[in-house]
Structure 1
Amino acid sequence: MSAIAVKSAQLRSGLVLPYAESGRPEGLAVVFVHGLADSWWTFEPLLRQLPATVHGYAPTQRGHGDAEVPADGYGPEDFANDLVDFLDAAGIDRAVLVGASSGGVAARMVAGSHPDRVGGLVLAGVPATLADKPGITALWERIQELEDPVPRAFVEDLLGDLASRPLGRGVLATMAEENRKVPARVWRETMRGLLESDLAATLRGILVPTLVLWGDADSVLPRADQQRILDAIHGSALVVYEGAGHLLYLEEPERIVQDVVGFAARVLPARPGGGGGPSV
């Protein structure tokens, strides 16, 4: 089991983001990017299982978890810009980006716009588009009605709906608490940004190796949605997790680690000195 250190990175904008880190500095750099309402804690089970050959990072995005909460800036492009700034602040020259759920939108935007910084892209339960998805429409209606403090019942119901298998009590409690840290307005503005953006356009121009991970019991994303990603990104490959739901990274962390580590070993050359740098 790898030890996890929690640090902070000050971005070029002045925004300070907490992040978790595990592994040796000389290891292959892998950056995990969480989705709406989550935090670095989403990847705690993965970070603990990373081998010594991998140097893992998991930043918490603006407005989420214990990160600073600016008054605005919750569109996909804002999160993508923060991700590039995080790579700079953490001293990461080149990494594999692992986007989970909506976090994959920011990750693929960076892969498309900064291919020199991205050795490979992993999309785990990431939508090609949010259009024509009844579950997302229903969720948006509920989010528009949220008030602070965000009700525990709302986040627990949401987590239960997204997973195909019961989550452990500890995982459910931690994720629910992290979700409840997100102000209602950040839930709304982040979801609004996703709905109002042309997500299909963010799939264009991606030339880095891409691995698509999808659970065939995903209640949000049908197989056809994932096929759109495969069709848009030349050479991308799909791995199906049978019986897993939308939260496949929480449901099958051991297998996610195995797939991510194997992918990183293929697309990132081993480098003396690794991808790590001094923290702030």
Structure 2
Amino acid sequence: MSVRESGTGTPLVLLHAFPLNAAMWSAQLDALPGLTGDEARVLAPDQRGFGGTELGADEPSLDLVADDVALMLDAAGIERAVVGGLSMGGYVALALARRHPDRLAGLLLANTRATADADAVRANRERTAAAVTARDSVGLLLDERVAAGQLGPDSQHLVARVEAMVAAAPPAAVAWAQRAMAARPDSLDVLAGLRVPVAVVTGAQDSLVAPDEAELILRARPDAELTVIPGVGHLSALEAPEAFDAAVRRLLARVAAG
């Protein structure tokens, strides 16, 4: 598993969005360790098939990606970590909470949902998976302006950067991840039973995962801290890194306080 790492403090795992890679966390890798490097030990892995991590031959399942994260923690000598995921990364974080709850010290869910996909969403995921496989190209994602759709109206200056990450995604990984996300179960019960601090971040202009989804998470976890970032779309960590990082720091403080 390819992992970017910085800092020496509280272990913090950041899981990237689809169809990007760990490069999306560059601002957090620079800022969250703090000036002395001991505020957080930030680990940002490339998920299966993306960035520098191999896909393997397994059937699509986010449970396998969650198991990858647990193995990464083992390799890094980390017993428990604060785990944050954005969009697809949030789905993986919830799968980790289901399969390895003892590895979590805290949970951050950003621009994501805890419910399963609706039928129409599953059908669209399969359409995309079949198309990129047939063409052996992620050109469909670029043609459909996936990068622009992930960004809020005030963040379109980031389109070229996001498109570069989209273009770097292997078609096989894109198809695998779409099918894995389509197969994921509802996780509201997992959230309700998790005994660690939870934080939720959403963009007020997120057109892919509506802020209403955050309200469903809060119903399962009324103690979760909600941060709604004005003027921001789906990629809050990229679009408003200072506001995003502030939410992460508040979660780290809650974890430290016990």
**What interval of TM-score do these two structures reach, taking the shorter chain for normalisation?**
0.7 to 0.9
Amino acid at match of 1:86: M
In 2 relative to 1, CA 155–208 (structure 1 residues): closer, same or farther, beyond 3 Å? farther
Counterpart residue number, 2:28: 46
Contact kept in structure 2, 1:130 and 1:136, CA below 8 Å: no
Which is richer in helix? 2
Give 1:108 shift.
Answer: 2.0
How many angstroms apart in 2 are the aligned matches of 1:213 and 1:42? 16
1:20 aligns with 2:4: yes
Distance in 1 between residues matched to 2:204 and 2:155, nearest whole Å = 17
Q: Is the 8 A contact 1:207 1:234 kept in 2?
A: no
Kept in 2, the 8 Å contact 1:105–1:202? The answer is: no
| Amino acid corresponding to residue 252 of structure 2 in structure 1 | A
Question: Given the alignment, which residue of 156, 176, 179 partners 1:192?
Answer: 179
Residue 63 of structure 1: how far off its partner (Å) = 0.7
Larger RCO (CA within 8 A; separation ≥ 6): 1
Change (3 A) 1:69 1:193: closer
Matched to 2:146, the amino acid is: L
Q: How does 1:3-152 map to 2 (within 5 A)?
A: 17-23=1-7, 25=8, 27-50=9-32, 51=34, 52=37, 53-132=39-118, 138=124, 140-146=126-132, 147-151=135-139
Unaligned runs of 5+ in 2: none
**What CA distance in whole angstroms lies between the structure 2 residues aligned with 1:269 and 1:114?**
22
Q: What secondary structure is seen at the aligned counterpart in 1 of 2:199?
A: strand
| One-letter amino acid of the counterpart of residue 37, structure 1 | P
Q: Name the stretch that deviates more: 246-255 or 122-131.
A: 122-131
Q: Does residue 252 of the first structure (1) align with residue 240 of the second (2)?
A: yes
SS of residue paired to 1:48: helix
Distance in 2 (CA, whole Å) between partners of 1:90 and 1:67 is 16
Q: 1:213 aligns with which of 201, 207, 211?
A: 201
Identity of aligned residues (%): 30
CA deviations on 1:163-214 (whole Å, 9 max, x unpaired) are 1135476x54443333233332321221112112213355453221100101
User: 1:108-163 deviations in whole A, cap 9, x for unaligned?
Assistant: 22234433321110001012235348677546533431222322862781010111
**Structure 1 207/113 Cα, relative in aligned 2: closer, same or farther at 3 Å?**
farther
For structure 1, list consecutive stretches of 5 or more residues without a partner in the other structure: 1-16, 271-280
**RMSD of the TM alignment (CA)?**
2.5
Contact 1:111/1:208, CA 8 A, preserved across alignment:
no
Q: Which amino acid aligns with 1:121?
A: L
In structure 2, the CA distance between the partners of 1:115 and 1:129, relative to structure 1 (3 Å rule), is closer
Preserved CA contact (<8 Å) 2:229 2:243? no
Alignment pair present for 1:175 and 2:162: yes
Match of 1:239 in 2: 227
Distance verdict in 2 for CA 1:156–1:260, change over 3 Å? farther
SS at match of 2:153: coil
Count of residues in Structure 1 that have an aligned counterpart in Structure 2: 251
2:147 pairs with 140, 143, 159, which one? 159
Q: 2:100 is matched by which residue type in structure 1?
A: H
- 1:13 alignment counterpart: none
2:4 alignment partner AA: A
Q: With structure 1 as the length reference, what TM-score do the two structures score?
A: 0.80
CA contact (8 A) 2:81 2:103 kept: yes
> 2: CA distance between counterparts of 1:106 and 1:153?
22
Contact 1:152/1:180 (8 A) holds in 2: no
Q: 1:258 to 1:179 in 2, by over 3 A?
A: same
Normalization by structure 2: what TM-score?
A: 0.86
